[in-house]
Structure 1
Amino acid sequence: MTDYLAAAMAMLGPAQNRYANPAAWDRLHAELDIRMPTDYQTLVDAYAPIQLNGHLYLHHPATERWNLGQDIRDTVLAWSEVSWDDLDPDEDPRLLCGLTELSFGTRNGLWPIAGTDRGETIFLVAEHETAHWLLVEDGEGG
């Protein structure tokens, strides 16, 4: 079985761990009332805040600039204002992720954990907390 965390870190190079701070993660988890996956925390602690490959942004909960908690709150607010009534079945996150309803920043909803300069958003699917599902939205509603 592939160790994807080790593979990603090997590709990115030596970990910097400039802002690694367990207390910052504890505050974020308490504020959001969910826990982020351990592999995600390890990757963020090792490199964030950073823009990878000129596109992918990773924010960190211990920094004021590019703060992960603030980014999550802002993105949840923006996505909560989008109408989801007229989606094709193959683009509906409810069907793709087995969700009974579509919500953002809720205990059983979607949590934005990274994004790109091209508009893509990567969501953690909280409904599947033990399986750590990810959903990637392509920046154009699909």
Structure 2
Amino acid sequence: MASFSEVRSLLGEPGFNWSDPEPWAEMEREFGFEFPADFREVVDAYGSVLINNQLYLEHPAGHLLHNLHKSVRDNLEFWQEEDSTEFLPGPAGARPGELMPIATARTGEAVFLRVPAGPSSPWRVLIQELDSFSWVLYEMTFGEWLLAYLRGEDVMAGSRNFAPDGAFYEPLS
């Protein structure tokens, strides 16, 4: 299991360090589940950021342009209207086994978390490439997937090309 300290060692010191649980609680009440702890830990530490000039992560307390709660709601609506089963291995949604859109990339990918089928089942990451309509399910937690991404492993299109000198981030304003 990937640890936050490993992510921090590659990405650098976080500058957001959010501690109020209310934005998460509001979002989790709406969707009916708790987001995975490793995802929350990264987003609480870094806030709304662009990683390696490619991957957008947002925080639920972010302002209107970069607000995770709003983005998830809007992206769920998009994927549900588009009959996501044509482009994904299952429906987008918040029920067990469904796919929750949590991030996007400048290179045309959508990042999903597969909602676990049960309390002891692990969260998994799915990447959908909008330009080719293909997808890949990674049998990894979000933290494991993010760590692989930060190391330049092939878990998103061109991930090695966007940070040849090492992982970095910039806050989204």
Structure-1-length-normalised TM-score = 0.80
Q: Which has the higher contact order (CA 8 A, sep 6+)?
A: 2
Of stretches 13-22 and 57-66 in structure 1, the one that deviates more from structure 2 is 13-22
| Aligned-pair identity (%) | 28
The answer for unaligned runs of 5 or more in structure 2 is: 135-173
Q: In 2, distance between residues paired with 1:39 and 1:85? A: 27
Is 1:134 aligned to residue 125 of structure 2? yes
| Structure having the larger proportion of residues in helix | 1
Give the number of equivalent residue pairs.
129
Gaps of 5+ in 1: 94-101
Question: How does the TM-score come out when normalised to structure 2?
Answer: 0.67
SS of residue paired to 1:35:
coil
Mean Cα displacement is larger for which, 54-63 or 120-129? 120-129
Query: How does 1:1-142 map onto structure 2 within 5 Å?
Result: 3-65=2-64, 66-83=66-83, 93=89, 102-108=90-96, 109-128=98-117, 130-139=121-130, 140-142=132-134
8 Å CA contact 1:19–1:63 kept in 2: the answer is no
Change (3 A) 1:48 1:85: closer
Deviant stretches of 4+, over 6 Å: none
Q: Is the 8 A contact 2:110 2:128 kept in 1?
A: yes
CA displacement 1:47-106 (0-9 Å, x = unmatched): 12111111100011012231101000111111112245667xxxx51xxxxxxxx22123
